Structure 1
Amino acid sequence: MVPMAKLPETLASTIKQVHGEKGERWLAGFGELLRYCERRWGLTLLPSDYPLSFNYVAPALLPNGQAAVLKLRVPEDPELPMETEALRRFTGLGGARLLDAEPARGILLLERLEPGRTLKSVRDDEEAARITARLLLSLRLPAPSPGEFAFPTSEMWSLGLQRLRARNGGETGPLPERLVAEAEIRFAELHRTLEEPLLLHGDLHHDNILSSGGEWKAIDPKGIIGEAAYGTVPFLLNNLPEDLTASIALIRRRIEIFSEEMGLNPRRIAEWTFCHRVLSAAWFLEDGAGDLESAIRLAEGLHAIL
C-alpha cells in the first residue's frame, strides 16, 4: 500500500484550500480509504509518478493482472457525479473505460491506458489538433434530458461572470471591465443562437488525451452540455508558447483545423474561446489559483481577432 506520507504536500495543501474541513477529514481518512480499496477490489497499488493536482491517482493491478488506475476524490466534490456519469457514457466511444465506481466514497476505478503518453508527445501541433478533432467527433453524444441526468450547461458555467460582479459590488475587480462586458454580451448571443446541444468532455486538452495501443483516448471528463464548438476550447487554450503573438497565431491555425475536421463555424469557435478565457480568469479569482495576468493578456489578444 502507498502510505499517507507519500501524498505530496502540494496535493494535501490544495485539497485543504479547495475543500476546507471536508478536505481535512478526507486527508485524515486517506490511509483507511486506500486499505478499503485494496480489500474491495483486491488491488495491488503501484508506485506512482503521475502528476497530482486536485485528486489522488495511482496505477494498480487487479487480481487477474489487469492494469488499472485508482482515482480518489473528496466525495463531496460537486464535480464528482458529473465525471462519473460522463465516464460511463464515453466508455467505448473514445473515453477511458470505467471499471467500477463508488461515488459516495469518491472512488473511481479505471482502465489503465498504455503506453499512456500524453498528446504533448506529438510535436507536430497540427497533427495533435487533428487527433483531438477526431476524438471529439468520436465522443459526440446528444445531450441527455435533465430528467435523465442533470449535467451543467455552458450557460450555467458562464454565470461565473455574474458571481465575479456579485463579489465586487457590480464591478469586475482586477479584471478589465471592457473584457468582462464583452464576454457577457457574446456569451448571451452564443447561447441565444446555440447549436445542437451535446454532452461535451469539457476539459479535452493535451494532458487529458493519452495513447492506448494504436489509438488515443480521453481521461478526466468534466461533463457539460454545450455545442460542439465549445468542446474545442480547452485544447485551443492549452500548450501555448509564452509569446502572445505566437500564441494567437497558433490558436488561429488550430481553429482552422477544427473547422475543417469537424465542420464547425470558425467565428463561433473564436468567440467561445475568448469568452471562456475571460471566464477562466474569473474562476482563477474565485479559486485563488491560476495565472491571472497571463489569462488577461491572452483574452486581450483573442478579443483583437474577433
Structure 2
Amino acid sequence: MHVRKESCLMFHLPEDFLHFMREVYGTEAANAWFQRLPSLLEEYAQRWQLTLLPPFENLSFHYVAPAIRADGTPVILKTSEFSDEFEHGLAALRIFNGRGIARLLEYDEEKKAMVLERLQPGTMLESLVPEQDVQATSILAGIMRQLWRPVPEEHTFPTVEQLGQDLTQLRAYYAGGYGPFPPRLVEEAIDLFATLSASAPQTMLLHGDLHHYNILQAQDTWLAIDPKGVVGDPGYEVGASFFNPLPRILEAPNLEQMLARRVAQLSEELGMERTRIRGWGLAQCVRNAWSMVAHNQLSVNPQGVLRCAEILSRLTF
C-alpha cells in the first residue's frame, strides 16, 4: 500500500507495518485509517510547514516519518489513529521537556499527531550489543537518571500496579490454566508487581518502555524517544532492559552471564538493590511475553522472553 501526496510523490507503507496494524486492530479498521492517512499527512505538512519524507521501515503502533521544516530543520512526524498511549506519551514529553529525551516541537492532541526533534545520526543503542554491552547498560542507566520526574499532583498516567494487573487475565485466557507459560513464573511475576510496588522507596514519572531501540545517538550524546508515561517505582524502568534488544539478545552465547552482569551494573549505577532489579526484570519479562500473546504480536516467539525470565528467576544474591 502507498500513501500519495499532492505532489504525486508515492510513500510506500512497509508491509510489516500493514500486517502488524491489521493484526492488532483488525483489517477493516486498519485499512480505513490507511485510506485516510494521505489527507492527514497533507494536513499536517501544511499546518506545520513540513516537507515529508518516506516513513521509517521499522514501524509498529504509529506512523513515523522524517520531515524537514521550512527553515531546514530536520524533524520527525509521528501520528496514530488507534494508540491509547498517545496522550500519556505526549504528556510525558511535555514534562521531560527535552532532558534526556528528544524535544517535542509541535503537537495536536485531538488528532494524535506530533512533531519531534530528529536525533542525528540516530544510531540505536542496540548497535552496541553484545560487544559493548557494558557501555550500553551504562547509557541506559544515565538516561533513566535524567528522565525521572516527581509525579504531577493531577495526572492520568497509568500506574505500574495497573500494568501488572494485565497478568491476571492470563489464566482466564487459558480457561483457568497457564497455557505455555510456566505457572511458577506467572505467579512469581504477579507477586513481584504487587510487592515491589508496595515497597517502592519513591514514586516517579517514568519513561515506561526504555530499552535499546528507544535510545538513539544524538551527536555526541544519547537520548530517549517514544515514552509511554508511567507512574510508579523507578525500579520498574529497568525491566525492559532484560529482554532487549529483541530478538538478538536471545542469540547471545553467554546470555546468563550477560543478564547477571546487567543486574549488578544497574544496581551499582542506580543505587538499587540487586533483588529489586532482578525482580522487576523477571516481572516485566513475563508481562511482556503475555502481552505478545494477548495482542497477537507473535513476530518474536514469547518463549524467548520467558527464557530471560527463567534465567533471572535462578539468580541469587
Report what 2:283 is aligned to.
275
1:178-193 equivalences in 2 (<5 Å): 178-193=184-199
Can you give the 5+ residue segments of structure 1 that lack an aligned partner in the other structure? none
How far apart in 2 are the matches of 1:4 and 1:299? 44
Mapped partners of 2:19, 2:170: distance in 1:
25
Residue in structure 2 matched with residue 296 of structure 1 by the alignment? 306
Taking the aligned partners of 2:216 and 2:95, their CA distance within structure 1 comes to: 18
Counterparts of 1:189-200 in structure 2 under 5 Å? 189-200=195-206
Matching of residue 137 in structure 1 with residue 145 in structure 2: yes
Paired with 2:275 and 2:253, the residues of 1 have a C-alpha distance of 19
Task: Provide closer, same or farther for how the CA distance between residues 181 and 285 of structure 1 changes in structure 2, counting only shifts above 3 A.
Answer: same
Tell me, what secondary structure is at the counterpart of 2:92? helix
Q: Could you tell me which of 17, 21, 24 is aligned with 2:31?
A: 24
Equivalent AA in structure 2 for residue 91 of structure 1: N
- Structure 2 contact 215–222 (Cα < 8 Å) conserved: yes
CA distance in 2, matches of 1:13, 1:164: 25
Question: Is the 2:11–2:55 Cα contact (8 Å) retained in structure 1?
Answer: no
Gaps of 5+ in 2: none
Q: CA deviation at 1:38?
A: 1.3
CA distance in 1, matches of 2:251, 2:178: 26
Indicate conservation of the 8 Å contact 1:164/1:282, yes or no: yes
How many pairs are equivalent?
303
Deviation at 1:277, TM superposition (A): 0.8
- Deviation, structure 1 residue 3: 5.5
Partner of 1:157: 163
1:244 Cα deviation after fit: 7.3
Q: CA deviation at 1:238?
A: 0.9
Show the counterpart of 1:15: 21
Q: What secondary structure does 1:109 align onto?
A: strand
**Is structure 2 residue 49 aligned with structure 1 residue 42?**
yes
Residue 118 of structure 1 aligns with an amino acid whose one-letter code is: M
SS of the residue 1:127 aligns to: helix
Distance 1:16 1:234, change over 3 A: same
Q: Does 1:214 align with 2:258?
A: no
> Post-superposition shift, 1:117?
1.3
1:110 aligns with 2:116: yes
TM-score (norm 1): 0.92
Q: Tell me whether 1:305 sits opposite 2:312 in the alignment.
A: no
Shift of 1:132: 1.3
Instruction: List per-residue Cα deviations over 1:136-176 (Å, max 9, x = no partner).
Output: 1011201223xx22111111111111111222333222212
Q: Does 1:284 align with 2:284?
A: no
Matched residue SS, 1:29 = helix
> Do residues 126 (structure 1) and 125 (structure 2) align?
no
Equivalent pair of 1:4/1:31 in contact (CA under 8 Å): no
1:249 Cα offset (Å): 1.2
Q: CA deviation at 1:22?
A: 3.6
Moved more, 272-281 or 161-170: 161-170
1:50–1:58 Cα contact (<8 Å) kept = no
Superposition deviation, residue 225 in structure 1? 1.0
Q: CA deviation at 1:199?
A: 0.8
- Find the aligned partners of 1:228 and 1:276 in 2 and give their Cα distance: 13
1:242 to 245, 250, 271: 250
- Aligned equivalents of 1:50 and 1:16: distance in 2? 16
Instruction: Quote how far apart the aligned CAs of 1:5 are.
Output: 5.4
Amino acid at match of 1:234: A
Distance 1:124 1:256 in 2: 16
Look up the SS of the partner of 1:159 in the other structure. helix
The one-letter code sitting in structure 1 at the alignment partner of 2:59 is L
Q: For the residues of structure 1 that align with 2:56 and 2:191, how far apart are their CA atoms?
A: 43
How far residue 124 of structure 1 moved from its aligned partner, in angstroms, is 1.4
Paired amino acid for 1:41: W
Q: TM-score, normalised by structure 2?
A: 0.89
Inter-partner Cα distance in structure 2 for 1:203 and 1:129: 15
